[in-house]
Amino acid sequence: MVLRIFGMSFIVTVVSLIVAFLYGGPTALALAAILGIMEVSLSFDNAVINATVLQRMSEFWQKIFLTIGVVIAVFGMRLVFPLAIVWVTAGLNPVKAFDLALNPPADDAATFADGSKSYETLLTDAHPQIAAFGGMFLLLLFLNFIFEERDITWLSWLERPLARIGKLDMLSVVVSGVALVLTAEIIAADDDRATVLVAGLLGMITYIVVDGLGSMFHTEENTEGPSELAKAAGKAGFFLFLYLEVLDASFSFDGVISAFAITSDPIIIALGLGLIGAMFVRSITVYLVRKGTLSEFVYLEHGAHWAIGALAVILFISIGVHINEIITGLIGVAFIGAAFITSLIRNRRADAEEVEAEREPTPVG
């Protein structure tokens, strides 16, 4: 199973590294490998969340996510989307933006003599609105999870009280709205306040629309059986697919910005983050679904959502303060690791109790 699931990712990795070597020699090969490793290590929480959604989709839509979704993730989010931001924010045509990305100045100046800006600087300047949009989307995802009552809780001392107050209608929207206003007023620069508010509002609208449509069609199309056993198909599958792509965008663009600490070459970024990193993240997602890992280690989903909540907060803070991407990655790894370990302890305890119950003598008569 491992070879079948990860086989294509290994093939793509080898081909990508060869292309990187032909494109820029040993340096490009090393940079692509580093970016691929960085993307996989920082995106495990993304894979866990993807798996929770993917297991609700029909086989057809799972295949769509693993084919068309890969194309969107690799070329759309890691190559075209950054270029599109440069087109819009700098008013450059696509050809000029791509040329600027491929041919940075020799001295890597942020601003040229004529007042124009480098590709990296233009992308960095767009960070506040991207962080506000992605942070709001991820924060709503986290809040809607944590405000919902569940049979199994991880941080019970905190999750159960939050679930009780979560019975208030639209509480997640209220909390996220307050967080957005505070971010714009306290963290964002004066010139960025309006932009941050608009971008955050668009992130909120996007989450509500996509999540709402997915839930509505999932309910309508599965009225003949229990929803937890049904697989979303048709319109429900499409909106879950759309939901996954927006979620991936919220995770990935911050990674693209972070990649510029290593290289500003969009080709190497597309090879490392996109082809290598995105393929392995999707393979990990499929592995989690096929192996039933989320059912076996029940706290993983909780840990991933807490990691997402932390990432949302980090995105908001990063609007005004630079935060090293290593810190972001370590927080995600810490939550996922803690959730895995506590799940393992829970399983061993349950097994021990089961063995103990079997040893107890059966009452006679």
Rounded to whole angstroms, how far apart are CA atoms 131 and 264? 19
- What local confidence, expressed as pLDDT, does residue 179 receive? 95
- pTM exceeding the 0.85 threshold for the entire prediction: no
DSSP assignment string, 244-306: HHHHHHHHHHHHHHHHTTT---HHHHIIIIIIIIIHHHHHHHHHHHHTTHHHHSTTHHHHHHH
Rounded to whole angstroms, how far apart are CA atoms 58 and 75? 25
Which of these, 67, 93, 125, 92, lies nearest to 257 by C-alpha position?
125
- What local confidence, expressed as pLDDT, does residue 229 receive? 39
Handedness of CA 199, 200, 204, 207 (dihedral sign): positive
List helix spans (H) across 43-58: 44-54
- What local confidence, expressed as pLDDT, does residue 129 receive? 85
- Domain count across the chain: 1
List helix spans (H) across 118-233: 119-125, 127-146, 156-165, 171-182, 193-220
360 is a domain residue? no
Compute CA 271 distance to the chain's CA centroid, rounded to the nearest angstrom. Answer: 19
Which of these, 145, 194, 253, 236, lies nearest to 202 by C-alpha position?
194
208 is a domain residue? yes
- What local confidence, expressed as pLDDT, does residue 114 receive? 45
In the numeric block, the tokens 């609700």 are attached to 56
Q: Residue ranges of the chain with pLDDT lower than 70?
A: 1, 74, 85-86, 88-94, 97, 101-120, 214-234, 253-255, 257-258, 260-261, 264, 325, 360-365
Rounded to whole angstroms, how far apart are CA atoms 223 and 150? 22
361 is a domain residue? no
- What local confidence, expressed as pLDDT, does residue 136 receive? 92
Report yes or no: 112 and 105 within 8 Å, Cβ to Cβ: yes
User: Which distant-in-sequence residues (6+ apart) come within 8 Å of 265 by Cβ?
Assistant: 24, 28, 31, 101, 102
Report yes or no: 220 and 230 within 8 Å, Cβ to Cβ: no
Token representation of residue 359: 């040893």
Count of alpha carbons within 13 Å of 312, Cβ hemisphere only?
A: 24
- What local confidence, expressed as pLDDT, does residue 112 receive? 47
151 is a domain residue? yes
Count of alpha carbons within 13 Å of 162, Cβ hemisphere only?
A: 18
233 is a domain residue? yes
161 is a domain residue? yes
Q: Kindly list the distances between the CA atom of residue 12 and the CA atoms of 178, 263, 342, in Å, as whole numbers in the listed order.
A: 44, 21, 34
Domain that holds residue 11: 2-110+117-353
Rounded to whole angstroms, how far apart are CA atoms 159 and 342? 15
286 is a domain residue? yes
- What local confidence, expressed as pLDDT, does residue 143 receive? 93
**Residues linked to residue 24 through DSSP beta bridges, in sequence order:** none
- What local confidence, expressed as pLDDT, does residue 22 receive? 92
358 is a domain residue? no
